[in-house]
Structure 1
Amino acid sequence: MSQEGFRLLQRECINTGLCYECGLCAAVCPEKAIEIKMYDWGRNPELTGTCSCGSCTKCYDVCAAKIVPLAKMEKHFFGRNRKMDTVEKVGGVFRFVGTGCAADPEIRKVGVSGGVATSLMIFALEKGYIDGAVLAGYDQEKPWIAKAYVATSKKDVIACAGSKYQPHPQLLGIREAYEMGLKKIAVSATPCHAQSIRRMMMDPELQDIASIIKLVSCNFCAAHWALAGTKWLLKTWLNIDMEDVREMNYRTGAFPGTMRIRTKDGQLHEKAFVRSGGVAALGRFTPEECRICLEKVGYAGDVVFGDTWGHPVLPPNFDLFPPTEEQKKADPRIRHAAEKGLSAIVARSEFGLKLLQECRDAGKILMWENTPEETEAFLTSVAAEKPTWYGPWIEARKHRGMPVREYIL
C-alpha cells in the first residue's frame, strides 16, 4: 500500500519547517490516516493510519506551504490577475477597499475592531447564502486552546467573534461541516490557510468536499504566535497558569482591546493587550513557518478584514490622540473609529463585494470606500510589513540552500 503522498508532504512541507498547521491534509485524507498531533512546541501532521488509496497524493496536492500559485488562483476565483503597474502589485486583486463597522451594538462590542466580519457571517447565514461557517472558537475541555468551530446560528457566530492569536488546524472544520451534511459554507481563514483552501477548490478530484465552500473570509495576519507565547503572557502579566483559564479573550472592550481572562475560580483578570505590549511580547514567539511568509493581506480571500494600522486618515490610535469635534463632524469614519475602531475591508471577488453591499443595504453594517490615494497608501503600508520583517530571514535560508515558500505570479 502506497504512502507516497504523505511522504512527499512530509519531505517537502513538514520536515522543512514550512507547514503552517492548517489541518487540510488531514481533512482531505480519504482514509483519515493523518492526525494533527499536538506537542509542547506546537502541532505536527503525522501518519497514524494506513494509506490504502494506491498512489493518492491528495494531502500534498492541497498544501500551499511550499508552492502558492497566486496567478492561477486570482484568474480562477477573481476573473483576472492583479494589475502589476498599480498598487495591486502588492495588495492583490481588489474590487473594493475601505472601512466599516457593525450597526448592531452587540456585535460591535464583541468584535475586535469594527465587527464587520462577524456581521457579514450572520447576514450570509440569515439570507441563506450559507448554511454554516467554519470559524475559530475555543476547545470546550481546554478553553485556552483555539479550535475550529462550525457555526450554524447567529449565536454561534457571535460566540466565535474576536481574534485567536495562536496557531490551530482551522481547516479540519471543513471536513466536520461536510460530514454534518452542510451544503454551502463560509470559511474564516488566515492568508496561508486560504491559499490551501483555494488549491483544494481548484482540484477536480476534491470537488465532493470543496464544492460546499461558497465564501472564503480572510483576516490580515502578522503571524500566528505559538501557544507558548500565550502561556508565557498569562503567567508574566496576570500570574495565571494557562490550565486555570475558563474563558479567554485576547482583545475585547474599547479599541484597540483588552485581554480579558476569567479563571476557574470565577475571578476576572484584565490588561490592555496592545497598549501594554502584549502584541509585541507575543512577537517573540513567532514560529518558523511564519518567518518565511510574505503574505499579510489575504490574497486568496473573497473578502478580507483587519485593523486600520497604516491607514492615512484612520490610524487606530484615537484612544491616545482623540480627534477634535470638528474632525468627527467632517468625516463620519473618524467619529466611528474614535468610538470603537473600524474594520479595514478588502473585497476581491464579485460575490464578496455583492455580499458586503447587500449587508450594507440591509442596514447591518456601515461601510465607506477609501479614496484611491488612501487605498494606495494603506495597502502599500500593510503589504510592506512582512517583507521588511522576514525578508532577511528568507534570504538567509535561500543562501544556505534551505527551502522557502514560493509565490508564483
Structure 2
Amino acid sequence: MAMKSATPIDALTHGVIQAGLCTGCGACIALDESPHSLMQDTHLGPIPAWMADSRLPLWSTQACPGLGVNYPDLYQKHYGHYPNQWLLGEIQSVWTGHASDPAIRRIGASGGVLTQVLVYLLETGKVDAVILAQQGRPTPEKARAVIAQTPEAILAGAQSIYIPVSMLDLLKTLEPQKTYAITCLPEQSAALRVMQQEGFAPAMQVQYVVGLYTGTALYPAAISCFLRSRGIREDDSIQSLKWRAGEWPGYLEIKTESGRIVRSKKVYYNFLIPFYITQTSLQSMDFVNEFADLSVGDAWSPVFEAQGVGHSIIVARTQPMASIIAEMEREGWLSLEEEDPLKASDMHGHMLDFKKRGGYLRNQWRRKMGRPAPDYGYRPAGIPLSRVLVEIVISSLFVVGRTAWARWVVARIPESIIGPVFNTLRLGWKKLSRPTKRKGLGDFHVDIST
C-alpha cells in the first residue's frame, strides 16, 4: 500500500515546530485557508495553532524560514541576479544618518530613520497604512503586530523590541485594494518575498518592506529572569516595558505595579543573551535583512558613539527606495552622509561573521547530530580552522547557558554585578576573537548549493 504523502502542515509540525526551529513569523497562518488558525504565545515566542479545517498550499514550505528559504534562488527571482556582494546583499546606496526631526530621532532606537521613512511613506500617499510591531500589546511585557494608519500610530511603535513578534499572520486581515509598508525581521522579509513570488494576493499589497539589522533576540522568559536578578517578586506585575528608553543607545526600563522602576544599560542587560537567545538567532544566516527594500541598523563607530545620539546605517536595496531616501534628504526629512559599503560593513563585522559563518557552522553541526536545521542554499567558501575553533567556544557557551541550572543561577545574581562583569567579558572576548572573526570578511565568497 502506498504511503500517504505528508502535507505541508505535517512537514512544518515535525520539521520545524517540534524541532524548535519555528521563527514565529506567521507566514503559515497567513497562508492557511482556515479563518480560525492563529499564532499563540508560548515560552518560545509565537507558535502557529492550526485547526481541523487548516490547509496550506504545497509551496508554503518554501516560505518557511524554519526549514530555510533558498537565498540564491530568491535573489534570482526577486532581484533578477545574485547580490553585489554576499556579505551585505544587494546594494543600491548606503548612508549613515538620522531623522531630521529631533523628536523622532530621540524616540527612535538608532536615529529614528525607520520611523521617519514610515511616516513619510504614509503622509505622501505612497501607502495607505503601515504594519509594524508595538510593545505593550496585549499586555505590557508582550508585543504584537499592528496596522498604523496615522503618523501618531507609527510613532507609538518606534521603539526596539527584542522578543519574537509574528508579523506575517496579519496579512490575512489586510483590506483589499489598499497598499501597505511593513517592518520585518530578516527571516520575515525572505518569507514575504517567497509569498509575493507565488502571487499570494495579500502579500502583493505590500509595496515596501523596511527591515532591521537583526543580531540576537531573546525568549520572553528573559524578562522574568531580569526581574528576579533585580529582586522583584513574580506577583509584582509589569505596568510598562521599554527595551531602549532614554537617549541612545538606551536602556531597558520596566515599571511594576508596586511602583518599582528598574533600568539597565543596553550593554548590561545583554547578559541575558547566552541564557535566553532564540534558536532563530543561532540558525539564521541573514543579519542585514537582505530582502528588505530598506535595511536599517545602529551605526556603531567611535565617532558616533562619542556624540551620544543615535545614528543609523541605511542600505537601499532597490532603485525606487534609493530614490525615496534621496528625496527625503532633499526635502529635509533625513540628514545623511554617503558611506562606502565595506566601511559600513566594518561597523558590524562581528555580527556579520556570527551570522554568515557562525550560522552556517551551527546548522551543519545540527545536521551531523541528526537534528533538523534550515538550509539557505549556500555556504561560505573557505572557513578557516581558527574560525571553527572560535565557534566551538561560542556554541558551547550557548549550550551551557540555556540549561535549566544555568538559568536558575543567573537569575539569582544581582544585575548590578552580572551586567558589568558580562560587559567586561564581552568586550574582552570581542577584542581577543576579532582577528579571527574578521579574517576574510572583506573578501567574503560563497558556494551555491546544487
The aligned counterpart of 2:393 is none
Give the alignment partner of residue 365 of structure 1, picking from 331, 334, 339.
Answer: 334
- Corresponding residue number in structure 2 for 1:326: none
Instruction: Give 1:171's match in structure 2, choosing from 143, 154, 168.
Output: 168
- Rounded to whole Å, the distance in 2 between the matches of 1:152 and 1:238 is 40
8 A contact 2:137–2:143 mirrored in 1: no
Aligned equivalents of 2:162, 2:210: Cα separation in 1: 17
Secondary structure of the structure 2 residue equivalent to 1:90:
coil
Aligned to 2:15: 12
- Tell me the secondary structure at the aligned position of residue 72 of structure 1: helix
Range that drifts further, 291-300 or 120-129:
291-300
Asked whether 1:71 is paired with 2:72, we answer: yes
CA distance in 2, matches of 1:66, 1:377: 30
Match of 2:319 in 1: 350
Question: Is 1:118 aligned to 2:110, yes or no?
Answer: no
From 272, 287, 291, give the equivalent of 1:281.
272
Residues 233 and 340 of structure 1, relative CA distance in 2, 3 Å threshold: same
Name the SS for the 1:73 alignment partner: helix
Taking the aligned partners of 1:297 and 1:303, their CA distance within structure 2 comes to 10
1:137 aligned residue: 134
Question: Aligned partners of 1:384, 1:23: CA distance in 2, in Å?
Answer: 27
Whole-Å separation in 1 of the counterparts to 2:363 and 2:213: 20
Query: What is the deviation of 1:12?
Result: 2.9
Residue in 2 that maps onto 1:90: 87
> How do residues 266-305 of structure 1 correspond to structure 2 at under 5 angstroms?
267=259, 269-275=261-267, 277-305=268-296
- Say if 1:78 and 1:350, in contact at 8 Å, map to a contact too: no
Q: Which residue of 2 aligns with 1:146?
A: 143
Deviation at 1:188, TM superposition (A): 0.5
CA distance in structure 1 between the partners assigned to 2:100 and 2:224 by the alignment: 35
1:23 to 21, 26, 30: 26
Task: Name the counterpart of 1:224.
Answer: 217
Deviation track 1:314-339 (CA, whole Å, cap 9, x = no partner) reads 463x2xxxxxxxxxxxxxxxxxxx14
Alpha-carbon spacing, 1:131–1:356, altered in 2? closer, same or farther (3 Å): same
| Contact residue 68 and residue 375 of structure 2 kept, 8 A | yes
Secondary structure of the corresponding residue to residue 406 of structure 1: coil
Aligned to 2:443: none
Structure 1 residue 391: deviation in Å?
A: 5.0
Secondary structure of 1:142's counterpart equals coil
Q: Would you say the 8 A contact 1:191–1:219 is kept in 2? A: yes
Is the 8 Å Cα contact of residues 61 and 67 (structure 2) preserved in structure 1? no
Q: In structure 1, what residue type is equivalent to 2:298?
A: D
Q: CA deviation at 1:30?
A: 1.6
Check 1:43–1:393 CA distance in 2 against 1; reply closer, same or farther (3 A cut): same
The RMSD of aligned alpha carbons is: 2.5
Inter-partner Cα distance in structure 1 for 2:33 and 2:91: 35
Give, in angstroms, the shift of residue 65 of structure 1: 2.2
Work out the CA distance in 2 between the residues paired with 1:9 and 1:185: 28
Spell out, residue by residue over 1:111-142, the C-alpha distance to the aligned partner (whole angstroms, 9 max, x if none). Answer: 11200000000000000111111101134441
Deviation sequence 1:323-363 (CA, Å, 0-9, x none) = xxxxxxxxxxxxxxx14120111111112212211221221
Offset, 1:110: 0.7
**1:187-206 equivalence runs, <5 A:** 187-204=182-199, 206=200
Match of 1:36 among 24, 34, 39: 39
Query: Structure 1: which 5+ runs fail to align?
Result: 319-337
Aligned length: 375
Q: Which residue number corresponds to residue 237 of structure 2?
A: 244
Higher mean Cα deviation, 41-50 or 94-103? 41-50
1:158 maps to amino acid:
L
Distance change in 2, residues 1:354/1:49 (3 Å)? farther
In structure 2, how many angstroms separate the alpha carbons of the residues matched to 1:117 and 1:167? Answer: 19
- Tell me if 1:212 matches 2:205: yes
Query: Are 1:130 and 1:214, in contact at CA under 8 Å, matched by a contact in 2?
Result: yes
Percent identical among aligned pairs is 22
SS in 1 for 2:355: helix
- Compute the TM-score of the two structures, normalised by the length of structure 1: 0.84
Q: Residues 366-405 of structure 1: matches in 2 within 5 Å?
A: 366-371=335-340, 373-378=342-347, 380-387=349-356, 389-390=358-359, 392-405=361-374
In the TM superposition, residue 96 of structure 1 has moved relative to its aligned partner by 1.4
1:303–1:256 distance in 2 versus 1, CA, 3 Å: same
Note the C-alpha offset of 1:108: 1.1
Taking a change above 3 Å as real, the CA distance of residues 59 and 68 of structure 1, as seen in their structure-2 partners, is closer
Counterpart-to-counterpart distance in 1, 2:151 and 2:236: 29
> Contact (CA 8 Å) 1:119, 1:364: kept in 2 or not?
yes
Q: Give, in whole Å, the separation in 2 of the partners of 1:218 and 1:16.
A: 27
TM-score if structure 2 supplies the norm length? 0.77
Q: Is the 8 A contact 1:294 1:390 kept in 2?
A: yes
Task: Give 2:101's aligned amino acid.
Answer: D
Structure 2 counterpart SS, 1:91: coil
SS in 1 for 2:19: coil
1:184 matched to 2:176? The reply is: no
AA paired with 1:60?
A: T
Q: Are the counterparts in 2 of residues 91 and 379 from structure 1 also a CA contact under 8 Å?
A: no
Q: 1:98, 1:280 → 2: CA distance? A: 31
